[in-house]
């Protein structure tokens, strides 16, 4: 027999259990509806949670190409690995208090001729300088 967690069992049983609908209400007996059971509240919350997660994943996927381009630019200009370029982007994001995809967009814009805003430019230069200093010390 397959082992399942307690929360999975609760959700499964909540999805199977019919909910009583008052007589005369939409979907209740006497309104001509074929099915007299309505979806339980637990499944509605689960559906909303899944919709929110889906929206979050779509936003994450939309920002991914820009982040990858910025990593490539940093790898070429700062002579670093993909992991180090990610670290530089993340560090700049944290110090400038901006999202990683925003910082990445500004790195890409800078490579195409548009200058990023002052705080991002300053923090990005500092992160690259720290990376180069660490590389020199390791050599």
Position 42 scores a pLDDT of: 73
* Mean pLDDT for the stretch of residues 16-34: 49
* Mean pLDDT for the stretch of residues 19-41: 50
Give the pLDDT confidence of 62-83 residue by residue, as tens digits. Answer: 878 999 999 999 999 888 899 9
Specify the higher pLDDT residue, 79 or 116: 79
Position 21 scores a pLDDT of: 46
| pLDDT confidence band for 127 (50 / 70 / 90) | confident
Specify the higher pLDDT residue, 95 or 37: 95
What's the mean pLDDT when you consider all of the chain?
76
Statement: the pTM of the whole predicted model exceeds 0.85: no
**DSSP per-residue string spanning the chain:** -----HHHHHHHHHHHSPBP--TTSTTSTTTT-S---B--HHHHHHHHHHHHHHHHHHHHHHHHHHHHHHHHHHHHHTT--HHHHHHHHHHHHHHHT--HHHHHHHHHHHHTTPPPPHHHHHHHHHHHHHHHHHHHHH-
- When mean pLDDT is compared across 61-70, 85-94, 96-105, 119-128, the lowest value belongs to 119-128
């Amino acid at each position: 027999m397959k082992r399942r967690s307690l929360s999975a069992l609760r959700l499964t049983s909540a999805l199977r259990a019919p909910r009583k609908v008052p007589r005369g209400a939409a979907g209740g007996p006497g309104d001509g509806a074929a099915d007299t059971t309505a979806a339980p509240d637990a499944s509605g919350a689960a559906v909303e949670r899944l919709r929110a997660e889906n929206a979050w994943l779509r936003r994450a996927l939309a920002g991914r190409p820009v982040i990858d381009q910025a990593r490539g630019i940093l790898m070429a200009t700062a002579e670093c690995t993909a992991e180090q370029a990610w670290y530089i982007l993340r560090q700049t994001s944290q110090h400038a208090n901006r999202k990683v995809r925003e910082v990445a967009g500004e790195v890409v814009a800078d490579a195409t001729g548009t200058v990023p805003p002052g705080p991002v430019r300053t923090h990005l230069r500092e992160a690259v300088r720290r990376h180069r200093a660490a590389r020199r010390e390791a050599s």
